[in-house]
Chains A and B, each alone.
Chain A
Amino acid sequence: MMAEIGLAALWLAAGLAALQLVFMPAGLRSAVELSGTMRPVAVAQGALTALAFAMLLVLFARTDLSVALVVANSHSAKPFVYKVAGAWGNHEGSMLLWVTVLAVSGAFIAILSRRLSERTLAAALGAQAALALGFYTFLLLASNPFGRLAPAPLEGRGLNPLLQDPGLAFHPPTLYLGYVGLSVAFSLAFGALLTGEVDSRLARAMRPWVLAAWVFLTLGITAGSYWAYYELGWGGYWFWDPVENASLMPWLAATALLHSINVLAARGALKAWTMMLAVIAFSMSMVGTFLVRSGILTSVHSFAIDPERGTYLLILLGLYVGAAFTLFAWRGASLKEGAPFELVSRESGLVVNNLLLSVILGTVFVGTLYPLFVEALSGEKLSVGAPYFNIVAGPLALLLAVLVGAGPLLSWRRERRPVLKRLVVPALIGVAAIVATFVIAPKMGFLPRLGFGVAAFLAIASLLPLAGRNPLRAPLATWGMVVSHFGIAVALAGMAANSAFTKETLAVARTGERLAVGPWLIQLDSVTPAAGPNWTALEAELHASRGHGREVLRPQTRYFTSPQMETNEAAIQTFWDGQLYTVLGKADPAGGWQLRLWWKPFVTLIWAGGALIGLGGALSLAGRAWRTRRRRPEPEWRTRYA
């Protein structure tokens, strides 16, 4: 019954989305009141998809084996949390999650957007309905999550063991919230381009959505990076894999959008550019979804490969992004740029930020798709790997990090105060850090050395917007910016430390034997069998010591029964100054065990930084929501150019 309720809810929601689209032309002509038409339809549509998704969650929680999707992706012996996570750990379920977030966001725009003109809102809701309609069609015709199996089998096939991990259970929904949150920015930009009302009101309506989506993307990428780090057992945190790039590209576009939208909100400038970025950010989300779902680029993430579904997604991508770009080409000329600004001003700073982010985005985009185009044109096969991305994107990112220290100190329109003077102290600290690296590690590579210098500079410079005033009276949004920018410095320090100081030992050891890695002496005490709810394992017991204390680590090689698969469970011990990372490999015929040991000083700073960046975004969002609630009248200088 539940599967049928879910399916019926989906069909009804699709019908409502079509109705919402039908209302759009009338809404654009202001011929109908939105409160009686599009708003309630959008809300009902959101509620129905939420109901459908809830039904799927219940089916998975109960392991209802009469449903084909549950059989293919679940198993009665799986821990409960992964039973539920199985709902989105597959193609159909994840597309349903996608459309649920899309429709619920649509409902929230309908309820919350009071600032926009009715016409722009009608156009945006129409765009959102068109987006949803495409995905409903896709779900209902090509990937029905509620299909039944008769007779029902006795047992399910289980979820890919690599996905049975707390980090990964919540990484996809977080990313999806980010991806789809950007759809709202897309729809609002589409609506505003259609009505020509690209102004600071629009920017202020769009900003919370971009901020929220960006926070989710940041956290999703950080969580995914940590998952890859400990679950895949390679000890790396970023591989420039096509699918990682697919999540990074929307993030880069959203970061640029987040900054340019402030210029539009405060000064009414960068209209065309901001609209373009809003379209690009969501396009990148769709490109990302397409790359993951079609599996056309070889990747460690190729969990669900299906060219036919890929074709469908590509058609949707072409339709939506093509429509938005066509609209941009048609209406772009009529956009009048807002208030002028001088060369040294916060606006220019943000323009430079946007240029650098766009160049990095272009670099990643080209690097990801380049092999495909070379093969299409010349038939030659090649792959673009980490060295390209590190060499091209690395220095640009460092340059951007330096400018992040300076940008927030500039004032709007024109800067008269000597900003460079305020940066003397941070700059001296940055130089001191570089000098210190020469003393501590004379052989360190160029980029990590520079990374330490920039991180030290930015750590101090990012705090300056709070200096010279009572920090407790600074707006929450300012705090958010400071925390995010400080997070960049923290993550940068972690990356530099990881690439400069990591020590690695790969060896075969017999029980009782000792190995050294960095300051640690590690003894293999025993290798014994272990078992869990749906796996058996070989577990090594390692004793580690660096002169004082004794740490016990238990890395495992796990053998999952359904589906049959072997995974490495690294044992990681976190200390204030780094992580000890150990992996148990295969048995050696001579009676030894392969062990991979890493000592990674300060590597945790990478994800701590990522979390701080996301926290900053959340603070900023909370601050803006708080200010909106107080309904303070807009200051005169803000509205003058609107």
Chain B
Amino acid sequence: MSRAVRFAPLALLLLVIAGLVWRLSTPADTNVRSRLAGKPVPAFNLAAPLPGKPAFSSRDLAMGRPRLVNIFASWCVPCITEVKVLKQLQSRGVAIDGIAIRDRAGDIAAFLARNGDPYARIGSDEQSALQIALGSSGVPESFVVDGRGIIRYQHIGAVEAADVPLILSQLEQAR
């Protein structure tokens, strides 16, 4: 039996252990990343759920200025805390558009009245069709879209106070 054959099992074992050590030290990331990062937003045209608020379509995103697109819902608990942070961002000059997922007009109005309204436009995505097209797997999520309508950054989960500098720098880079 040649030396190579005799040492092969040991080499294979070391390889497998290296893989397992890597996995133990880097726990699996269960977030689903969108494949659209760096690509244009798919074309869409959402209806306005609220009478006083303009509707939201993909044309609104290629107006020369980066915007934050926020996926939210009135039934989503983390969204309640997120809205306050979005208000902060809005007060620092960030343009934010909302996509309401599987929601009702009355519930959205009540949600915004109670928690505040950071949105320039709101579109209603009743069947999650746009959410799926964007590659978003949950609510809330946010996308930084640059002035040419290209997705530059995906933020999974609620935007928290600690994330504000990150979001601002992403918007700055997208300029």
Given contacts A294-B24, A296-B24, A307-B24, contact A332 B13 (CB under 8 A): no
Q: Assess the A318–B17 pair: CB atoms within 8 A.
A: yes
B21 to chain A, nearest CB (A): 7
Q: Assess the B1–A325 pair: CB atoms within 8 A.
A: no
Q: Which residues of A line the B interface, CB within 8 A?
A: 272, 276, 279-280, 283, 287, 290, 294, 296, 298, 307, 310-311, 314, 317-318, 321-322, 325-326, 328-330, 332-333, 335, 369, 372-373, 375-376
Nearest residue (CB) in B for A279 is B9
A538→B7 CA distance, assembly (Å) = 60
B164 at the interface (CB under 8 A from A): no
B23 at the interface (CB under 8 A from A): yes
Q: Assess the B1–A332 pair: CB atoms within 8 A.
A: yes
Q: Assess the A332–B17 pair: CB atoms within 8 A.
A: no
Q: Assess the B24–A333 pair: CB atoms within 8 A.
A: no
Which of B16, B20, B21, B23 gathers most chain A CB within 10 Å? B20
In the complex, chain B residues whose CB is within 8 Å of the CB of A283: 13
Q: Assess the A373–B19 pair: CB atoms within 8 A.
A: yes
B6 at the interface (CB under 8 A from A): yes
Q: Which of chain B's residues 21-80 have a Cβ closer than 8 Å to chain A? A: 21-24, 27-28
- Report which of A279, A314, A325, A333 forms a contact with B20, defined as CB distance below 8 A: A314
Interface on chain A toward B: helix, strand, loop, or mixed SS? Answer: helix
B162 at the interface (CB under 8 A from A): no
Given contacts A372-B23, A376-B22, contact A322 B13 (CB under 8 A): yes
Q: Size range of the interface on B?
A: 10 to 19
A317→B18 CA distance, assembly (Å) = 12
A493→B102 CA distance, assembly (Å) = 48
Q: Assess the A332–B27 pair: CB atoms within 8 A.
A: no
Given contacts A296-B24, A321-B13, contact A328 B6 (CB under 8 A): yes
B107 to chain A, nearest CB (A): 19
Given contacts A272-B1, A332-B1, contact A296 B23 (CB under 8 A): yes
In the complex, chain B residues whose CB is within 8 Å of the CB of A279: 9
A318 to chain B, nearest CB (A): 5
Q: Assess the B19–A372 pair: CB atoms within 8 A.
A: yes
In the complex, chain A residues whose CB is within 8 Å of the CB of B23: 296, 372, 376
A276→B22 CA distance, assembly (Å) = 27
Which of B7, B10, B17, B19 gathers most chain A CB within 10 Å? B10
- Report which of A280, A287, A329 forms a contact with B7, defined as CB distance below 8 A: A329
In the complex, chain B residues whose CB is within 8 Å of the CB of A372: 19-20, 22-23
In the complex, chain A residues whose CB is within 8 Å of the CB of B16: 287, 369
Given contacts A294-B24, A372-B23, A376-B23, contact A328 B9 (CB under 8 A): yes
Given contacts A294-B24, A333-B1, contact A326 B10 (CB under 8 A): yes
A317→B6 CA distance, assembly (Å) = 19
Known: A279-B9, A317-B17. 4 other contacts (CB 8 A): A287-B16, A307-B27, A325-B9, A376-B22
In the complex, chain B residues whose CB is within 8 Å of the CB of A335: 1
Given contacts A307-B27, A310-B24, A314-B24, contact A329 B10 (CB under 8 A): yes
A543→B23 CA distance, assembly (Å) = 51
B88 to chain A, nearest CB (A): 33
A318→B13 CA distance, assembly (Å) = 8
Q: Assess the B21–A314 pair: CB atoms within 8 A.
A: yes
Q: List 25 A-B contacts (CB under 8 A).
A: A272-B1, A276-B9, A279-B9, A290-B20, A296-B20, A311-B24, A314-B20, A314-B21, A317-B17, A318-B13, A318-B17, A321-B13, A322-B10, A328-B9, A329-B6, A332-B5, A332-B6, A333-B1, A333-B3, A333-B6, A335-B1, A369-B16, A376-B19, A376-B22, A376-B23
